Structure 1
Amino acid sequence: MLSFAITVVAVLISAALFINLWRLIIGPTVQDRILALDTMYINSIALIVLYGLHEGTSLYFEAALLIAMLGFVSTSALCKYILRGDIIE
């Protein structure tokens, strides 16, 4: 039963990734594209955690943590670049 639930959730999160990719490509403003990229990071973290649950190992949780940190830093840098035009003050 757990493997079926993991499969269903993985398919739904993959569908959400494709919708975010569509918003990243088509997005009318730059802010929409940044938000779509940030949401793609979150969805990819969820997929990695699901795969870690499926495999039963904690290695994937550490990888998800690294992706979360990189996603936060890159989103912050992109937002700062849009607001000020420069990342380093």
Structure 2
Amino acid sequence: MVIITENFFPPSSAKELGKVFLELPPLPDYITMRGPYILSDTNKGIRSILIYECEKSKFADALQVVADRVTNYFEAVPGYTYAVNAWFEASEALKMIGLA
């Protein structure tokens, strides 16, 4: 299971977003972050994706940490929006529907 955040912001807000990102506190040891991966999207401006990995036993804690991180951008980054989602591995999803 991983947590994936998708962040959207206009190019004019890139510098503000970068400043906030550099000021964020380090993640707890039980979370590994991959990214951010950046894409210029013609329709949505700048889009970034971050992938957070953690053990199942720490998932609820990790989800709270990630949610707290994205709120740091609200006031400082004009036009910032985001989505936070939990993604399951195929084996986990199969268990959920009784096939594993």
Please give the TM-score of this superposition, normalised by the length of structure 2: 0.35
Q: Per residue, is there more strand in 1 or in 2? A: 2
Give the TM-score, by structure 1 length. Answer: 0.38
User: Which structure exhibits the higher relative contact order, with contacts defined as CA atoms closer than 8 Å and separated by 6 or more residues?
Assistant: 2
Decide which structure has greater helix share: 1
